[in-house]
Amino acid sequence: YFSRAAVPWGEGATIRHIGLYAYRRAALARFVALPPSPLEQRERLEQLRALEAGMRIDLALVDKAARGVDTPADLARVRAVFAGQGKE
């Protein structure tokens, strides 16, 4: 389950979702054809649409997560880094 809030489930560690996706063509076609699901609409997390439709989501744990690119300012920062004008 994905949530923006703390989920009171089990005693394990909280992990952060970094939002990197790779789809097989058929899975992507299926996903985009699905209507938004109730949990997706409540949480505003598209991964829940796939889970509610019975699709499999694999994950990997990483030691260090990169910064997200969620705003125009984030995109400008990343473009500057790739252009060699900025340092991360």
Q: Which domain holds residue 50?
A: 1-63
**Owner of token pair 């809030």:** 5
CA distance 7 to 73: 30
Residue 1 banded pLDDT, cuts 50, 70, 90: low
Residue type, 87: K
CA 57 to chain centre: 11
CA distance 7 to 47: 16
Residue 82 is assigned to a structural domain of this protein: no
Using alpha carbons only, give the angle 11, 21, 68 rounded to the nearest 5 degrees: 75
Residue 68 is assigned to a structural domain of this protein: no
Residue 88 is assigned to a structural domain of this protein: no
Residue 75 is assigned to a structural domain of this protein: no
pLDDT digits (tens, 9 = 90+) for 20-65: 788 999 999 999 999 999 999 999 999 999 999 999 988 888 888 7
CA distance 46 to 52: 10
pTM score: 0.65
pLDDT score for 75: 92
Q: How many domains does one find in the chain?
A: 1
